[in-house]
Amino acid sequence: MRIGIVCPYSWDVPGGVQFHIRDLAEYFLRLGHDVSVLAPADDDTPLPPYVVSAGRAVPVPYNGSVARLNFGFLSAARVRRWLHEGAFDVVHIHEPTSPSLGLLTCWAASGPIVATFHTSNPRSRAMIAAYAILQAALEKISARIAVSEYARRTLVEHLGGDAVVIPNGVDVDFFASAEPKAEWQGDTIGFIGRIDEPRKGLPVLMKALPTILAARPRTRLLVAGRGDEEAAVEDLPKELRARVEFLGMISDEDKARLLRSVDLYVAPNTGGESFGIILVEAMSAGAPVLASDLDAFVQVLDQGAAGEVFANEDADALADAAVRLLADPARRTELRDRGSAHVRRFDWSTVGADILSVYETVTAGAAAVAADERTTGLRARFGLARD
Amino acid sequence: MTATLIWILVAVVAIGVYLSWTAGRLDRLHVRMDAARAALDAQLLRRASVAQELATSGVLDPAASIVLYEAAHAARQAEEEQREVAESELSQALRAVFEDPAQVEAVREAPGGEEAAHELAEAVRRVPMARRFHNDAVGAARRLREHRKVRWFRLAGHAPFPLAFEMDDEPPAALVERAA
């Protein structure tokens, strides 16, 4: 099958959506499909052979933060050329509501289009204003995928229609077979995520840390992620700062080893999560998980059966649960076992097969993807468009 | 005077272009809906065929075979108006027969059973998918068709009003449970 995948965010910036697309593309390539990924990228970035650059993304303030997006005449032309040269059986767009390549492709293509909705943003004012334009582009999508039941609910409420739920994939065995590292073992708590992004919840964990250390003084907190390390420990009493180790940005291999080594993985995120891939990775590596009770997290943790949850932003609840778990090896073993069994459904072999089923369902009885000539403008409307 | 005429002309052309664009949108939605319906039909037919094959293969006990055969046969032969009911009954029959994980295991162990069980699992997973995509397309088409501009200018032509396909498509849990 000839598959075209559209990535809305810069390929050179690491992010959940980009990793998801990379893994998905590589999974399909291994199965022998033809895959081409269209992504924004700087001209000098080395790209894997299956990625086609759509040009440099422009940083624009959008939706409360600065997003790097592609739009405008030149990007639209590149999208059309990619569609024309690819002659795809199916095009898979990610995040079609962000004003970037996804939306442009929706606009420019006809034929079987599959779209995955990753985020579950509350309805933004821009989206309400652009609703009529969005609707005309989005109604070309033949199959919608939401990454969680929570994401599906927001999608149905905001845009109408329906979607199937297919979770994000993880290479479970990669994490399950990683080698633990001795220096990261023994009364350790793990945290992975941007240090200076409050939504990732490190401040909540820092607030809970004195209580945890009072009960279990030997505990160490291992923090992996970019950000200002000085500022992160600012509110911590000086004598406790030594109990926090910053590992900086770590490779995928080290991430797996870290998750294999820690006694407890804590995800204190305060919001903005629609899935929680890190929890799946932690469970794959057999780390007992303690997470805030965000809708998406509770769902990934099988309603709390595969990992424990605490009230969001409640540092005391986090400290209580962490102390209790660290003192209870039997309970941690139980969580490890339940987690390892539960994550099988997030393995690429399952997730990839489901996505392929979606492709096969929409391509059955439909023509291949082509550039949509009706949208080229007035000339096309009066039959003047060139072939 | 001429200026007014020109403005009226411009307005008429603009309205015409807008209506033609809307008609194009509607046409595309109908095409998508037809494709989704064809895909749904294909998946339903596939499910009924696999169920019928299993029923006649002798892997299941006679009582289960008869129940499944009846339901699969009825689903394949159903008239358009009876289709939703017949397909729902096939879903119920499949759930009744494969309620017990042991039954699924028994099928897998029979010669050629692994393949048959896999095929049936695929089919029962894809029916809800295809139905959701179909009803999504129907919903989008209905929303546009209920709009004033479409009704006043009869942009939908003679195309029948789109209807959702409502049925019970809950798959048997033991068959799709692959986490274990």
Instruction: Give Cβ neighbours of residue B178 (< 8 Å, ≥ 6 apart).
Output: A344, A345, A350, B121
pLDDT above 70: percentage of residues in chain B: 98
Averaged pLDDT, A171-191: 91
Query: What gap in Å lies between CA A6 and CA A31, rounded to an integer?
Result: 19
Is residue B156 a part of any domain in this protein? Answer: yes
Residue A333 Cα distances to A183, A222, A338, angstroms:
21, 21, 9
Q: How distant is the Cα of B32 from the closest Cα of chain A, in angstroms?
A: 7
User: Do A140 and A249 fall into the same domain?
Assistant: no
A376: pLDDT confidence band, cut at 50, 70 and 90?
very low
* Chain B residues within 8 angstroms (CB to CB) of chain A: 17, 20-21, 24-25, 28-29, 32, 35-36, 38-39, 42-43, 122, 125-126, 128-130, 132-133, 135-137, 139-140, 143-144, 178-180
Is residue A9 a part of any domain in this protein? Answer: yes
SS (H, E, C) A13-31: CCCHHHHHHHHHHHHHHHC
Query: What gap in Å lies between CA A31 and CA B177, rounded to an integer?
Result: 23
Is residue B1 a part of any domain in this protein? Answer: no
Number of structural domains (chain B) is 1
Asked whether residue A113 carries a pLDDT value surpassing 90, the answer given is yes
Q: Domain residues for B72?
A: 15-173
Is residue B5 a part of any domain in this protein? Answer: no
Residue A171 Cα distances to A16, A104, A139, angstroms:
14, 31, 33
pLDDT above 90: percentage of residues in chain A: 47
Q: What is the DSSP string of A307-358?
A: SEEE-TT-HHHHHHHHHHHHT-HHHHHHHHHHHHHHGGGGBHHHHHHHHHHH
Asked whether residue A288 carries a pLDDT value surpassing 70, the answer given is yes
User: A-B interface: how many C-beta pairs under 8 angstroms?
Assistant: 80
Q: For residues A311 and A317, is the Cβ–Cβ distance under 8 A?
A: yes
Torsion of CA B114, B119, B125, B127, to 10 degrees: -160
Q: For residues B54 and B108, is the Cβ–Cβ distance under 8 A?
A: no
Per-residue pLDDT reduced to its tens digit, A225-236: 888 888 888 888
Residue A63: per-residue pLDDT: 58
Instruction: Give Cβ neighbours of residue A177 (< 8 Å, ≥ 6 apart).
Output: none
Query: What gap in Å lies between CA B26 and CA B12, rounded to an integer?
Result: 21
Averaged pLDDT, A42-66: 80
Is residue B10 a part of any domain in this protein? Answer: no
Asked whether residue A378 carries a pLDDT value surpassing 90, the answer given is no
User: Do A142 and A164 fall into the same domain?
Assistant: yes
Is residue A364 a part of any domain in this protein? Answer: yes
A374: pLDDT confidence band, cut at 50, 70 and 90?
low
Asked whether residue A375 carries a pLDDT value surpassing 80, the answer given is no
User: Do A331 and A367 fall into the same domain?
Assistant: no
User: Do A79 and A227 fall into the same domain?
Assistant: no
Torsion of CA A148, A149, A154, A157, to 10 degrees: 150
Q: Count CB neighbours of A115 within 10 A.
A: 25
User: Do A201 and A330 fall into the same domain?
Assistant: yes
Asked whether residue A386 carries a pLDDT value surpassing 60, the answer given is no
To the nearest 10 degrees (0 to 180), the angle between helices B83-97 and B62-77 is: 160
Query: What gap in Å lies between CA A102 and CA A95, rounded to an integer?
Result: 6
User: Do A19 and A142 fall into the same domain?
Assistant: yes
Asked whether residue A72 carries a pLDDT value surpassing 80, the answer given is no
Query: What gap in Å lies between CA B133 and CA B151, rounded to an integer?
Result: 25
Of B29, B42, B136, the CB nearest to A364: B42
Query: What are the residue ranges in chain B where pLDDT is below 70?
Result: 177-180
Q: What is the C-alpha end-to-end distance of chain A, expressed in Å?
A: 26
Is residue B3 a part of any domain in this protein? Answer: no
User: Do A159 and A103 fall into the same domain?
Assistant: yes
Q: What is the DSSP string of A142-191?
A: SEEEESSHHHHHHHHHHH-S--EE-PPPB-HHHHHTPPP-GGG-SSEEEE
User: Do A75 and A206 fall into the same domain?
Assistant: no
User: Do A162 and A57 fall into the same domain?
Assistant: yes
Residue A228: per-residue pLDDT: 87
Is residue A255 a part of any domain in this protein? Answer: yes
Is residue A387 a part of any domain in this protein? Answer: no
Q: For residues B166 and B88, is the Cβ–Cβ distance under 8 A?
A: no
Residue A358: per-residue pLDDT: 93
Per-residue pLDDT reduced to its tens digit, A298-340: 989 988 899 999 999 999 999 999 999 999 999 999 999 999 9
Number of structural domains (chain A) is 2
Phi first, then psi: give them for residue A45, nearest 5 degrees: -75, 130
Query: What gap in Å lies between CA B168 and CA B166, rounded to an integer?
Result: 7
Q: Is A160 within 8 Å of B180 when comparing Cβ atoms?
A: no
User: Do A165 and A176 fall into the same domain?
Assistant: no
Of B17, B28, B128, the CB nearest to A140: B28
Residue A125 Cα distances to A2, A64, A79, A129, A158, angstroms:
37, 11, 27, 6, 12
Query: What gap in Å lies between CA B57 and CA B45, rounded to an integer?
Result: 18
Q: Is the CB of residue A244 less than 8 Å away from at least one CB of chain B?
A: no
The residues that bridge with A221 in the sheet, in sequence order, are A189, A244
Is residue A367 a part of any domain in this protein? Answer: yes
Q: For residues A126 and A63, is the Cβ–Cβ distance under 8 A?
A: yes
User: Do A185 and A152 fall into the same domain?
Assistant: no
User: Do A148 and A95 fall into the same domain?
Assistant: yes
Q: Is the CB of residue A270 less than 8 Å away from at least one CB of chain B?
A: no
Q: What's the alpha-carbon Rg for chain B, to the nearest Å?
A: 24
Chain A partners within 8 Å of B29 (Cβ): 139
Residue A126: per-residue pLDDT: 65
pTM of the model: 0.84
Query: What gap in Å lies between CA A129 and CA A125, rounded to an integer?
Result: 6
Of B20, B129, B179, the CB nearest to A358: B129
Q: Is the CB of residue A163 less than 8 Å away from at least one CB of chain B?
A: yes
Chain B partners within 8 Å of A360 (Cβ): 126
Is residue A60 a part of any domain in this protein? Answer: yes
Q: How distant is the Cα of B139 from the closest Cα of chain A, in angstroms?
A: 6
Chain A partners within 8 Å of B20 (Cβ): 381
Chain B partners within 8 Å of A112 (Cβ): 35
Chain A partners within 8 Å of B43 (Cβ): 361, 364
Name the more confident of A371 and A101.
A101
Instruction: Give Cβ neighbours of residue B171 (< 8 Å, ≥ 6 apart).
Output: B91, B94, B95, B121, B124, B125, B127, B128
Residue A125: per-residue pLDDT: 65
Is residue B161 a part of any domain in this protein? Answer: yes
Q: Is B126 within 8 Å of A357 when comparing Cβ atoms?
A: yes
Q: Domain residues for A278?
A: 172-344
Query: What gap in Å lies between CA A98 and CA A138, rounded to an integer?
Result: 11
CATH number at residue A211: 3.40.50.2000
Q: Is the CB of residue A140 less than 8 Å away from at least one CB of chain B?
A: yes
Asked whether residue A293 carries a pLDDT value surpassing 80, the answer given is yes
Q: For residues A310 and A317, is the Cβ–Cβ distance under 8 A?
A: yes
* CA A42 to chain centroid: 22
A35: pLDDT confidence band, cut at 50, 70 and 90?
very high
Residue A58: per-residue pLDDT: 79
Is residue A334 a part of any domain in this protein? Answer: yes
Is residue B57 a part of any domain in this protein? Answer: yes
Lowest mean pLDDT among A174-188, A366-380, B49-63, B153-167: A366-380
